[in-house]
């Protein structure tokens, strides 16, 4: 360790010594669990039975009587699929997949928090909120993006879907995975057809994705149609985390929110800008919104302060990060 690392370790331990007293933790947790249980009982009345999938050292297995079905994929293709009424494109880093419009966002492994059966499929990105509380099966339905390093998915071939019999997945769910470069996607769906369609849409993004976003921030991006607004959200590592293309009234409301943000106050920010940040593009303007209250954001006619309305529109659905500083947050996120 360097001297600086030693100082840092010492500083963090010193800070920890000032932590609050742990007295009463267990009773407080019990009270919260009671409230959560009552809320869950209400929610589970409308629970939907679905399918699940898991990644990360978990064996995937066919049940023998229904062999794997080959899905035509071309992971090297850079031709981005156009979103249709039948689905939406979800991108993470340099891979993308098209999922049914009704699929939500979240973690595949948390279905048992809200219901008694695996429910609505969700799209999961690494670093999302993962309440790892050992649901059985361990994962519900949806799509999970993953970094290939350290994953063990050799139980069956990439690009094929298989019926699961393992305890890690919902009974009779259909699963498949694929990988391009160092990133991949795992699909768990209730039906073979749905699993195949989602997996077949998997592709590597070598240029821009279906929404016009590049895997890393670029000097130039494709033009945006009049009336549309493109959001490319990048993480602190400058990898694309999610993309979105707003149109119609949504795009107009987003532009209005950006323009209505007050001019940035006169203040000095000590920490350099490092993201996460969102690149916002319209037909005649573009700018970066960094999730840092001090720095604000640059848009059209100058620098502005972050507002709740701006965050409402630029934070893509399913975002689970934080905003540094004292930012007025929206009442809810877009779904």
Partner 1 sequence: MTAEFDEWVAARGPGLLRLAYVLTGNRADAEDAVQDALARALPRWDHIRSVGDPDAYVRRMVVNAHTSWWRKFRKRETPVAEAFVPVAERATTGEDRDRVWRSCLRLPEAQRVAVVLRYYEQLEYAEIAALTGVAEGSVRSRVSRGLAALREELGEEHDDD
Q: Pick between residue 119 and residue 212 the one whose CB is nearest to partner 1.
A: 119
From candidates 63, 74, 86, 147, binder to partner 1 by CB under 8 A = 147
49 contacts partner 1 (rule: CB under 8 A): no
Query: Cβ of residue 13: shortest distance to partner 1, in angstroms?
Result: 7
132 contacts partner 1 (rule: CB under 8 A): yes
Nearest CA among 215, 249, 220 for reference residue 232: 215
From candidates 134, 219, 220, 226, binder to partner 1 by CB under 8 A = 134
Query: Cβ of residue 246: shortest distance to partner 1, in angstroms?
Result: 20
From candidates 30, 42, 72, 265, binder to partner 1 by CB under 8 A = 30
Query: Cβ of residue 23: shortest distance to partner 1, in angstroms?
Result: 9
118 contacts partner 1 (rule: CB under 8 A): no
Where in 148-167 is the site for partner 1 (CB under 8 A)?
149-150
Q: Pick between residue 266 and residue 301 the one whose CB is nearest to partner 1.
A: 266
265 contacts partner 1 (rule: CB under 8 A): no
Q: Pick between residue 224 and residue 327 the one whose CB is nearest to partner 1.
A: 327
Query: Cβ of residue 237: shortest distance to partner 1, in angstroms?
Result: 6
From candidates 119, 137, 159, 235, binder to partner 1 by CB under 8 A = 235
Binding site for partner 1 (CB under 8 A): 2-5, 7-20, 22, 25-26, 28-33, 36-37, 112-113, 126-136, 147, 149-150, 182, 235-237, 270-272, 274-276, 292, 315, 319-324, 329, 333
């Amino acid at each position: 360790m360097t001297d600086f690392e030693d100082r840092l370790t010492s500083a963090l331990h010193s800070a920890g010594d000032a932590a609050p007293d742990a007295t009463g933790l267990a009773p407080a947790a019990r009270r919260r669990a009671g409230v959560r249980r009552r809320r869950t009982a209400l929610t589970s009345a409308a629970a939907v039975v679905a399918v699940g999938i898991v990644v990360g050292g978990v064996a995937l297995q066919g049940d023998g009587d229904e062999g794997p079905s080959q899905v035509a994929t071309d992971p090297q293709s850079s031709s981005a699929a156009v979103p249709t009424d039948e689905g939406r494109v979800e991108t993470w880093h340099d891979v993308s997949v098209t999922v049914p419009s009704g699929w939500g966002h979240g973690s595949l492994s948390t279905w048992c928090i809200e219901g008694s059966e695996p429910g609505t499929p969700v799209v999961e990105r690494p670093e999302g909120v993962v309440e790892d509380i050992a649901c059985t099966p361990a994962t519900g339905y949806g799509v999970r993006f993953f970094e290939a390093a350290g994953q063990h998915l050799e139980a069956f071939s990439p690009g094929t879907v298989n019926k699961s019999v393992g305890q890690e997945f919902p009974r009779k769910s259909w699963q498949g995975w694929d990988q391009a470069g160092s990133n991949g996607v795992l699909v768990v769906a209730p039906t073979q057809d749905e699993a195949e369609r989602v997996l077949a849409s998997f592709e590597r993004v070598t240029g821009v994705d279906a929404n016009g976003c590049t895997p890393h921030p670029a000097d130039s991006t494709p033009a945006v149609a009049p009336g549309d607004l493109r959001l490319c959200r990048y993480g602190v590592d400058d990898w694309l985390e999610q993309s979105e293309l707003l149109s119609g009234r949504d795009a107009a409301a987003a532009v209005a929110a950006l323009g209505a943000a007050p001019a940035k106050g006169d203040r000095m920010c000590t920490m350099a800008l490092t993201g996460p940040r969102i690149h916002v593009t319209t037909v005649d303007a573009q700018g970066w919104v960094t999730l840092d209250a001090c720095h604000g954001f640059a848009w059209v006619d100058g620098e502005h302060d972050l507002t709740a309305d701006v965050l409402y529109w630029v934070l893509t659905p399913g975002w689970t990060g934080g905003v540094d500083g004292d930012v007025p947050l929206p009442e809810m996120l877009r779904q």
